[in-house]
Structure formats: structure tokens, C-alpha cells
Amino acid sequence: MPDQPPRPLDQLEQTILARKASADEKSYTARLLAGGVGQIGSKITEEAAEVVEAAGEPGEDGRQHTIREAGDLVYHLLVMLAAREVTLQEVEAELARRFGVSGLEEKAARKAKP
């Protein structure tokens, strides 16, 4: 079986990590990382609101706008994960752990933990 091309999310994660390592002040990603969790969190909040707004727009234009805004949200989320030194692989493992578990049961279990 031939090697699979890298997934876009993996490529994006690697690019973000490279920007983090370089701390190039001309890089938007590096500037976000330098701003820390507060600055990145503000962008995530802003982008999440834009996804919801776009999703409310009718038709194919609204659908395409939703895709673009979701891309922005995912990018900023990956920047936050890099800031906290969390990998996509760790997030995927957490999602895999949840398969077969009722969402309601999983939420209840999180509330029960101190």
C-alpha cells in the first residue's frame, strides 16, 4: 500500500508547531502564540460566533460561508492546542475513548469527578 499523503489537519498542526518554534514576529500564528491563552481564546470565541452566524445564512452561499468560518475556527483551535502542548493525536484518542459511550453518560461522569 503506498504512503498516504499527509492529512491537511496534520499539515496544519506541523506548520503551527514550526511557527511556534521560530517565533517569527511576521507570522500571525507566532503572534497569536505569543499572546497566550487569553488572546487565542478571544479569537476562538470570535470565530465560533462567526460559524454560528454563517450557519444561519440560507442556501449554498451560507453553506460555503460556514465552511470558511469553520476552517478559521479549527485553525485557531489548533493554535490553542499548540500553546497548551496538546496534539491532534491526543484529541483523537480522547474522541476514540468516547465511542460507544452515551453522550449523556459521558457528561455525567465528568461532573462526578472532583
| Count of domains observed in the chain | 1
Residue 28 lies in a domain: yes
**Helix boundaries (H) for 27-102:** 28-55, 59-83, 88-98
Q: Which of 79, 73, 13 is nearest to 46 (CA)?
A: 73
pLDDT band at 84 (very low <50, low <70, confident <90, very high): very high
Q: How many CA atoms lie within 13 A of 63 on its CB side?
A: 2
Instruction: Output the pTM of the full model.
Output: 0.85
Domain span including residue 43: 8-86
Among 12, 93, 79, which Cα is nearest to 47's? Answer: 79
Q: Would you state the cell numbers that stand for residue 57, as one nine-digit string?
A: 445564512
**Per-residue cell: 2:** 503506498
CATH number for the domain harbouring residue 15: 1.10.287.1080
Q: What is the pLDDT of residues 91-108, one digit of tens each?
A: 999 999 888 877 677 667
Residue 112 domain-assigned?
no
Quote the radius of gyration of the chain (alpha carbons, Å): 17
